[in-house]
Amino acid sequence: MFEYIKQSIEPISKIETKEQTFLCENFVPICENGLTMISGNGGKGKSFLSIQIALQLAMQHKTKSLLWLSEDSKSISKQRAELILQNVIKINARSILNLIDICDEIPPAITESSLNNYINLFKPYQFIVIDPLIAFYDGDENSNTQARAFMNCLTKIAKTNKQSILITHHNTKQYTNEPSRSRGASAFIDAVRLAYEIDFINDENNKNEGKRILKITKDNLGLKTKKNGKMA
C-alpha cells in the first residue's frame, strides 16, 4: 500500500527546481497540473467564464479540454461558446471547437472507488472543468474530513494525468471576514492552490452593466507577486 509513497521520497538535494507554470496566463491564470477554483453566487458567470478559458487555450495552444457542465445542456453550452467567439474573442475560428468536448450528464460521485475510472476517462485531456463541485460530491458538504477526501481524489487525478482542473463552486457565505465565501467545508478551498471569486461590478450608473470582476481569494503559488499585484 505504501510502496508508491516510498518511491516518491527522495533527498531534497536531488530534486529539480521548477518554477510554477500557469495555463491561460494572459487571461485567467490556471494552476498547471493542479487545482484551481472559481466561486460565486448563481448566475454570476462561472460556466460562461469556464468556456471562455477553454476557448482561449484552444486558440492559443491547441489545448484539448473537457468541460463537464452538469447544470446546462450541451446545446446551451455550444451557443455560449459560439457567442464568445463572435462577440468576445471576435474571431471566426469555429474549428477550435473541435478541441473542446462537453458533457452534461449527472456525474457519478468522485470517490476512492471511482477514482481509476475518472483517471482513465479524463486521460485524453489537458484541461478539465468540474462544474459545479457539488454535482460530483456525495458527502456531507460541511464535513472537512469528507471534503478533504474528495479533494484528495481530484488532486490525485491532476497529478496522475498531469492535468489542470478548474472547479466551479457556489458561494453562500455572504457575511464573512474570510477572503473566500465559498460554501461548505473549508477543506474545499484549502485543497486548491489558486482560487478566484467572480461577481458583478457594482455601478450605480450602469456603465459596467453585464461586466464581471474576478478577484484572487487564495494564492499559494505567488501569482500576485508574479503579476505585480495586477491581473492580466
Higher pLDDT, 102 or 171: 102
What is the signed CA dihedral for 99, 76, 81, 63, rounded to 10 degrees?
-30
Task: For residue 168, give the 3-state DSSP assignment.
Answer: strand
Using CA atoms, how far apart are residues 60 and 178, in angstroms rounded to an integer?
A: 35
pLDDT band at 207 (very low <50, low <70, confident <90, very high): low
Residue written as grid cell 494525468:
161
Using CA atoms, how far apart are residues 195 and 179, in angstroms rounded to an integer?
A: 10
Residue closest to 53 by CA, chosen among 229, 214, 217: 214
pLDDT cut 70: percent of the chain above it: 91
Q: What is the pLDDT of residues 14-37, one digit of tens each?
A: 999 988 899 999 999 999 999 999
pLDDT above 60 for 118: yes
Q: How many CB atoms are located within 10 Å of the residue 203 CB?
A: 10
pLDDT above 90 for 2: no
Average model confidence (pLDDT) for the chain? Answer: 91
Higher pLDDT, 55 or 175: 55
pLDDT above 70 for 126: yes
Mean pLDDT over 116-138 rounds to 98
Mean pLDDT over 162-170 rounds to 97
pLDDT band at 3 (very low <50, low <70, confident <90, very high): confident
Using CA atoms, how far apart are residues 231 and 216, in angstroms rounded to an integer?
A: 9
Q: DSSP label at 32?
A: T
Structural domain boundaries of the chain?
40-220
pLDDT band at 4 (very low <50, low <70, confident <90, very high): confident
Q: What is the pLDDT of residues 49-76, one digit of tens each?
A: 999 999 999 999 999 999 999 999 999 9
118 within 8 A of 66, measured Cβ to Cβ: no
Res 211: pLDDT: 87
pLDDT band at 232 (very low <50, low <70, confident <90, very high): very low
> Half-sphere exposure (CA, 13 Å, Cβ side) for 73?
3
Res 1: pLDDT: 61
**What topology does CATH give the domain 40-220?**
Rossmann fold (3.40.50)
pLDDT band at 179 (very low <50, low <70, confident <90, very high): low
What is the signed CA dihedral for 21, 23, 26, 27, rounded to 10 degrees?
-140
